[in-house]
Amino acid sequence: MADHDMWLKRLAELEASIRTFIRDARSEDRPEPVDALSDVLDVIRDELFEDSRASRWAVLGRPVRELPPFLRPVAAMVEKCLQRAAFFSDWTAAGLRLRLKQVG
């Protein structure tokens, strides 16, 4: 349990540091650092999703199968479309959350 508590403490410290970074950037009216942070967090989130998926396949005993060469361009296009749709959904959800916060 001590390991778990240590990781939770580190996560809380990381969150506090990120929030301080954002607050400082916004107080100086500089959106570029916040945009850069958002980009970094998106990359990290994507890597975590990939690692999680690979770990799940490993636990199930399934190897990550390579795509046949003729499917790779189609898969790349589908992946890009899904990423754009996910981004649009996240952006829309953020707008709805903002509006809900103003109401309640």
Q: pTM value?
A: 0.67
Q: Which residues contact 54 (CB under 8 A, 6 or more apart)?
A: 64
Q: Which pLDDT score is estimated for 12?
A: 95
Q: What is the mean pLDDT of residues 65-69?
A: 89
Q: What is the mean pLDDT of residues 86-95?
A: 91
Q: Which residues contact 67 (CB under 8 A, 6 or more apart)?
A: 75
Over residues 36-66, the pLDDT tens digits come to: 999 999 899 989 988 988 888 888 888 878 8
Q: What is the mean pLDDT of residues 83-103?
A: 91
- Tell me if 25 sits within 8 A of 31, measured CB to CB: yes
Phi, psi of 63 (to 5 degrees): -75, 155
Total Cβ atoms within 10 A of residue 25 = 17
